């Protein structure tokens, strides 16, 4: 069912979400706060979202009975994970409004399609080449090196990505990735990275959050700062305009994040997009009057979209499972009491039953009147956690 074929879905209805991770959990909390019941489809009996939802459908994404049960319970359905099969979303859309739609999600699932979409929107991205065959590998332009080889599908948080400096390294990397379809992207002289989170409804109304400035470590987001300390008005406007064009051309309904590289010369280059709320927008729960998850609920239910307002400067620190295994010691929880003694600290743990290196276990948002104040406290928190400064 197309998003435009529905009217307003009022609180009291049940909203469904494909995926039971932390993004689904925060969506469930936002929906419940607005008075909606919730249903989660995820095969994991201990999924973070499934544990807090009214209904948990414990099946795989393509299980026909599970999809039928989710559709039967839900007035509308969204997704919390970009790699939910587009086929599952199409099956659900035959019975219920689904936002974002399968076609939009399918573009975000394939790096080659994603870059083609950026080009169609007139949004520049890094010079790149598609590698699906040995012939394409041999024909790669040497000017694309050094670069980053990324699997075309199923890569996120640095997974399926390898840096390569020579043709020999490129061939070896492609082999190590199972000769899967890949995109080679030229490495660019980055000044900093930002992301834009937009929300768009079926009528085409669109709002956005302030730009987030992001620091990645090991391919995983480590720190987000809002307002962006290095942002210029020109960069801000170019990034917002680009994100809005990208969403509109997809006929997107829901929350969309577009990540951008800002180059040393001030150019703005699209990196990738995610058809869902994004790690870099988690600060909005504590620092904005409307969070990205509330906007996800509003967009899928046809509720009015209001432009979110930043009422506090914020720094967000990602909490990975590595923090539970410091200095070679057995698994030990970080010093939550010391962290919670700091002013403006908001701790969000995702309810995951076990920690492991690289796993997102939670985040910490520090709010303050100014970014400098938030940074000072966030640096104290980072020191307590054993994290590098920024």
CATH of the domain at 57: 3.40.50.20
Q: Report the Cα–Cα distance between both ends of the chain, in Å, rounded.
A: 46
Q: Is residue 324 part of a domain?
A: yes
Question: Which pLDDT belongs to residue 328?
Answer: 75
Token pair belonging to 7: 């009217």
Question: Which pLDDT belongs to residue 2?
Answer: 44
pTM over 0.85, yes/no:
yes
Q: Is residue 380 part of a domain?
A: yes
Please, are residues 117 and 246 in contact by the beta-carbon 8 Å criterion? yes
What are the φ/ψ torsions at residue 327 (nearest 5 degrees)? 60, 30
Task: Tell me if the bond preceding 100 is cis, omega within 30° of 0.
Answer: yes
Q: Measure the CA dihedral 34/35/41/42, to 10°.
A: 60
- 42-81: b or e for each residue (b if 16 or more CB lie within 10 Å)? beeeebbbbbbbebbbbbebebeebbebbbebbbbbbbbb
My answer on whether 64 and 138 are in the same domain is: no
In sequence order, the 6+-apart residues with CB closer than 8 A to the CB of 80 are 17, 18, 19, 20, 21, 23, 24, 27, 49, 276, 277
My answer on whether 291 and 375 are in the same domain is: yes
* H-run or E-run covering 169: helix 167-176
Q: Is residue 103 part of a domain?
A: no
My answer on whether 317 and 344 are in the same domain is: yes
Question: Which pLDDT belongs to residue 7?
Answer: 86
Residue given tokens 């394939």 in the structure block: 110
Q: How many helices (H) and strands (E) does the chain have?
A: 12, 17
| CATH code, 175 | 3.30.1490.20
Closest CA to 256 of 271, 241, 268, 244: 244
My answer on whether 173 and 227 are in the same domain is: no
My answer on whether 164 and 18 are in the same domain is: no
Q: Measure the CA dihedral 57/58/62/64, to 10°.
A: -60
Query: What range defines the domain where residue 291 resides?
Result: 190-385
Beta bridge partners, 345, equal 366
CB atoms within 10 A of CB 379: 16
C-alpha angle 7-10-11 in degrees, rounded to nearest 5: 155
In sequence order, the 6+-apart residues with CB closer than 8 A to the CB of 154 are 83, 109, 160
* H-run or E-run covering 378: helix 371-385
Q: Is residue 110 part of a domain?
A: no
Task: Tell me if the bond preceding 255 is cis, omega within 30° of 0.
Answer: no
How far is residue 48's CA from residue 160's CA, in Å, rounded to a whole number? 25
Q: How many domains does the structure of the chain reveal? A: 3
Q: Is residue 229 part of a domain?
A: yes
My answer on whether 223 and 366 are in the same domain is: yes
Q: Is residue 157 part of a domain?
A: yes
My answer on whether 89 and 133 are in the same domain is: no
My answer on whether 205 and 352 are in the same domain is: yes
My answer on whether 227 and 313 are in the same domain is: yes
How far is residue 221's CA from residue 208's CA, in Å, rounded to a whole number? 20
My answer on whether 147 and 264 are in the same domain is: no
Q: Is residue 122 part of a domain?
A: no
Q: SS3 helix, strand, coil % of the chain, rounded to 5? A: 35, 25, 40
Task: Tell me if the bond preceding 140 is cis, omega within 30° of 0.
Answer: no
Q: Is residue 370 part of a domain?
A: yes
Please, are residues 75 and 54 in contact by the beta-carbon 8 Å criterion? no
My answer on whether 206 and 181 are in the same domain is: no
Closest CA to 101 of 124, 133, 137, 77: 77
My answer on whether 175 and 280 are in the same domain is: no
Secondary structure class of 104 (helix, strand, coil): helix
CB atoms within 10 A of CB 133: 11
Q: What is the pLDDT along the chain (390 residues), one digit of tens a residue?
A: 544 445 899 999 999 999 999 999 999 999 999 999 999 999 999 999 999 999 999 999 999 999 999 999 999 999 998 889 999 999 999 999 999 999 999 999 999 999 999 999 999 999 999 999 999 999 999 999 999 999 998 766 667 889 999 999 999 999 999 999 999 999 999 999 999 999 999 999 999 999 999 999 988 999 999 999 999 999 999 999 999 999 999 999 999 999 999 999 999 999 999 999 999 999 999 999 999 999 999 999 999 999 999 999 999 999 999 999 987 778 899 999 999 999 999 999 999 989 999 999 999 999 999 999 999 999 999 999 999 999
| CATH code, 195 | 3.30.470.20
How far is residue 170's CA from residue 147's CA, in Å, rounded to a whole number? 9
How far is residue 41's CA from residue 60's CA, in Å, rounded to a whole number? 8
How far is residue 82's CA from residue 358's CA, in Å, rounded to a whole number? 19
């Amino acid at each position: 069912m197309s998003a435009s074929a529905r009217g307003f879905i009022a609180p009291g209805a049940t909203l469904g979400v494909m995926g039971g991770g932390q993004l689904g959990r925060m969506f469930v909390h936002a929906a419940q706060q607005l008075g909606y019941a919730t249903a989660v489809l995820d095969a994991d009996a201990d999924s973070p979202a499934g544990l807090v939802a009214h209904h948990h459908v414990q099946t795989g994404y393509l299980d026909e009975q599970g999809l039928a049960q989710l559709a039967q319970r839900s007035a509308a359905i969204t997704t919390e994970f970009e790699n939910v099969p587009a086929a599952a979303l199409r099956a659900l859309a035959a019975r219920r409004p689904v936002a974002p739609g399968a076609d939009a999600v399918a573009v975000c699932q394939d790096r080659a399609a994603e870059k083609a979409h950026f080009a169609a929107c007139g949004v520049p991205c890094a010079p790149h080449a598609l590698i699906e065959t040995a012939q394409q590998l041999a024909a790669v332009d040497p000017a694309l090196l050094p670069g980053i080889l990324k699997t075309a599908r199923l890569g996120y948080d640095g997974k399926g990505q390898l840096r390569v400096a020579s043709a020999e390294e490129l061939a070896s990397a492609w082999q190590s990735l199972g000769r899967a379809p890949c995109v080679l992207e030229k490495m660019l002289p980055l000044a900093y990275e930002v992301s834009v989170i937009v929300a768009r409804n079926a009528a085409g109304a669109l709002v956005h959050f302030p730009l987030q400035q992001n620091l990645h470590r090991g391919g995983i987001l480590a720190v987000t700062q809002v307002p962006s300390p290095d942002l210029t008005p020109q960069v801000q406007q170019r990034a917002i305009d680009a994100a809005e064009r990208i969403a509109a051309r997809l006929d997107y309904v829901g929350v969309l994040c577009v990540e951008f590289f800002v180059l040393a010369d001030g150019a703005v280059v699209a990196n990738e997009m995610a058809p869902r709320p994004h790690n870099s927008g988690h600060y909005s729960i504590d620092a904005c009057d409307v969070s990205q998850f509330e906007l996800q609920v509003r967009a899928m239910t046809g509720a009015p979209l209001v432009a979110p307002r930043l009422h506090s400067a914020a720094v967000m620190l990602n909490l990975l499972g590595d923090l539970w295994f410091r200095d070679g010691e057995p698994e030990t929880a970080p010093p939550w009491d010391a962290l919670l003694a700091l002013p403006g600290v908001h701790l969000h743990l995702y309810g995951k039953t076990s920690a492991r290196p690289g796993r997102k276990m939670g985040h910490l948002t520090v709010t303050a009147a100014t970014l400098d104040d938030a940074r000072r406290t966030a640096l104290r928190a980072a020191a307590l956690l054993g994290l590098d400064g920024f």
